[in-house]
């Protein structure tokens, strides 16, 4: 029996194979944020195969581009691998384990929707808020909230860790992204909307005026740091995962993004800022195989030099929701224990 398309081949290689007994395909290409390349057809084994050096990652999300002899092509998940993340197949290393909190019973709590007008950006949103049955004045606010919950497990993490007594009770606020590329690209208008419209309305709804912990991934992390720099009084801590802290020396491949220069200018101002900023406890995580790794390293060093209590961790994954989910514990856990003591 042939192995699945992806398999760990010893300690140093990952093998990708696709059966094609009649050699019907003209070509096969691996597409992944971790590895890429063309598979080669082995006539004796009647399979396509690619071997790549083992990356510093415990998971690989991948797809296969199938090139047909009539000139057409299609991109598909691995037909022999039932493990999925969205439309991609997932390969686990032999040592990979999912977070233990996925098996913990959740604390009881309730969800509610809160309508939030955003005059600063001429928009609106509906936030989804989970509150534990035990009273609390602590709040965690997350960008890309619906996806962070659905794909990154943030709601499940919150209820599980509170239920286990590993973090103090807190309200979880999931903010939808709205005009994501505009709002989350170091937009002063969005930062103003978050600080003057969203957070005060949420505070009134929850009966607290305590500064929040802000969380975000990718552009959501960038936007949360941008808001904290402009309105530091609103924030008690930050979780920044794989932040899109673009710099020309690392990120010219992103220059086609229409707000690239605005992000570059903001990142540059932060990196050049003197010490004495209104720093807060900050956790930064980034995948060891990400394009964003170098700019996250630079941001972590800069914030630490400016008085932020920074914890920076390179995690064995790429730029994806499961990697961000797997980093929540212990990294967000430690942050919440520190800020919500």
My answer on whether 158 and 282 are in the same domain is: yes
My answer on whether 152 and 202 are in the same domain is: yes
My answer on whether 115 and 257 are in the same domain is: yes
Rounded distance between C-alpha atoms, residue 111 and residue 99, angstroms: 24
Q: What CATH number is given to the structural domain containing 236?
A: 3.40.50.1820
Phi then psi dihedrals of residue 329, to 5 deg: -115, 120
Residue range 19-55, pLDDT digits in tens: 999 999 999 999 998 888 999 999 999 999 999 999 9
159 in a structural domain: yes
Rounded distance between C-alpha atoms, residue 51 and residue 256, angstroms: 32
The domain in which residue 17 lies consists of 6-92
My answer on whether 145 and 243 are in the same domain is: yes
- Selection from 180, 263, 251, 253 nearest residue 220 by Cα: 180
Provide the b/e sequence for 291-301 (b: ≥16 CB within 10 Å).
Answer: bbbebbbbbbe
Angle at 179 between CA 176 and CA 181, to 5 degrees: 110
Q: Is the pLDDT of residue 234 over 80?
A: yes
User: 3-class SS at 175?
Assistant: coil
Predicted confidence band of residue 6 (pLDDT cuts 50, 70, 90): low
My answer on whether 289 and 232 are in the same domain is: yes
My answer on whether 37 and 167 are in the same domain is: no
Residue range 130-187, pLDDT digits in tens: 999 999 999 999 999 999 999 999 999 999 999 999 999 999 999 999 999 999 999 9
Q: Is the pLDDT of residue 112 over 50?
A: yes
334 C-beta neighbours (distance < 10 Å), count? 14
Q: Quick one: average pLDDT of 328-337?
A: 98
- E strands, 45-159, in order: 47-53, 59-68, 73-76, 84-85, 88-92, 109-118, 123-132, 139-142
> What's residue 5's pLDDT?
56
Predicted confidence band of residue 3 (pLDDT cuts 50, 70, 90): very low
261 contacts: CB under 8 Å, gap ≥ 6: none
43 contacts: CB under 8 Å, gap ≥ 6: 23
Bridge partner list, 30: 37, 64
**The model's pTM:** 0.94
Rounded distance between C-alpha atoms, residue 240 and residue 228, angstroms: 12
My answer on whether 52 and 184 are in the same domain is: no
Q: Quick one: average pLDDT of 199-214?
A: 97
> What's residue 33's pLDDT?
87
80 in a structural domain: yes
Bridge partner list, 314: 286
Q: Is the pLDDT of residue 231 over 80?
A: yes
My answer on whether 64 and 119 are in the same domain is: no
Q: What CATH number is given to the structural domain containing 13?
A: 2.60.40.10
My answer on whether 280 and 241 are in the same domain is: yes
Which of 64, 92, 120 terminates a domain? The answer is 92
Residue range 69-90, pLDDT digits in tens: 999 999 999 998 899 999 999 9
142 within 8 A of 336, measured Cβ to Cβ: no
Which of 92, 111, 143 terminates a domain? The answer is 92
What string of DSSP letters covers 282-339? EEEEEETT-TTHHHHHHHHHHHHHTT--EEEEEESS-SSHHHHHHTIIIIIHHHHHHH
Rounded distance between C-alpha atoms, residue 190 and residue 176, angstroms: 13
Which of 76, 92, 108 terminates a domain? The answer is 92
My answer on whether 231 and 210 are in the same domain is: yes
**How many domains would you assign to the chain?**
2
Determine the distance from the C-alpha atom of residue 48 to the mean position of all C-alpha atoms in its chain, rounded to a whole number.
Answer: 33
H-helix or E-strand spanning residue 158: helix 154-163
My answer on whether 67 and 201 are in the same domain is: no
1 in a structural domain: no
Determine the distance from the C-alpha atom of residue 149 to the mean position of all C-alpha atoms in its chain, rounded to a whole number.
Answer: 11
168 in a structural domain: yes
Residue range 131-145, pLDDT digits in tens: 999 999 999 999 999
Q: Quick one: average pLDDT of 5-13?
A: 76
User: 3-class SS at 100?
Assistant: helix
My answer on whether 106 and 184 are in the same domain is: yes
């Amino acid at each position: 029996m042939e192995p699945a398309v992806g398999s760990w081949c010893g300690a140093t290689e990952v093998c990708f194979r696709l059966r094609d007994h009649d050699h019907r395909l003209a070509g096969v290409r691996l597409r992944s944020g971790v590895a890429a390349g063309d598979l080669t057809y082995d006539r004796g084994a009647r399979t396509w195969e690619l071997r790549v050096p083992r990356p510093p990652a415990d998971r690989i999300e991948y797809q296969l581009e199938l090139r047909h002899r009539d000139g057409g092509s299609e991109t598909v998940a691995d037909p022999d691998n039932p493990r999925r993340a969205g439309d991609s197949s997932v390969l686990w290393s032999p040592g990979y384990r999912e977070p233990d909190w996925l098996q913990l019973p959740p604390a009881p709590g309730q969800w509610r929707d809160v309508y939030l007008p955003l005059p600063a950006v001429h928009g609106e949103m509906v936030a989804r808020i989970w509150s534990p049955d035990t009273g609390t004045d602590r709040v965690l606010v997350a960008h890309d909230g619906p996806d962070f919950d659905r794909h990154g497990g943030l709601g499940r993490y919150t209820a599980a860790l509170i239920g286990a007594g590993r973090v103090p009770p807190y309200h979880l606020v999931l903010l939808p992204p709205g005009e994501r590329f505009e709002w989350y690209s170091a937009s002063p208008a969005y930062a103003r909307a978050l600080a003057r419209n969203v957070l005060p309305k949420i505070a009134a709804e929850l009966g607290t005026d305590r500064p929040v912990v802000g969380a975000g991934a990718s552009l959501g992390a960038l936007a949360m740091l941008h808001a904290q720099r402009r309105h530091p009084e609103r924030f008690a801590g930050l979780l920044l995962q794989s932040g899109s802290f673009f710099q020309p020396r690392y990120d010219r491949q992103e220059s086609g993004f229409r707000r690239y220069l605005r992000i570059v200018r903001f990142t540059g101002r932060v990196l050049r800022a003197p010490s004495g900023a209104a720093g807060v406890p900050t956790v930064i995580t980034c995948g060891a195989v990400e394009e964003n790794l170098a700019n996250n390293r630079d941001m972590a060093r800069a914030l630490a030099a400016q008085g932020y209590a920074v914890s920076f961790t390179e995690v064995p994954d790429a730029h994806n929701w499961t990697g961000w989910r797997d980093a929540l514990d212990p990294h967000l856990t430690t942050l919440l224990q520190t800020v919500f003591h």
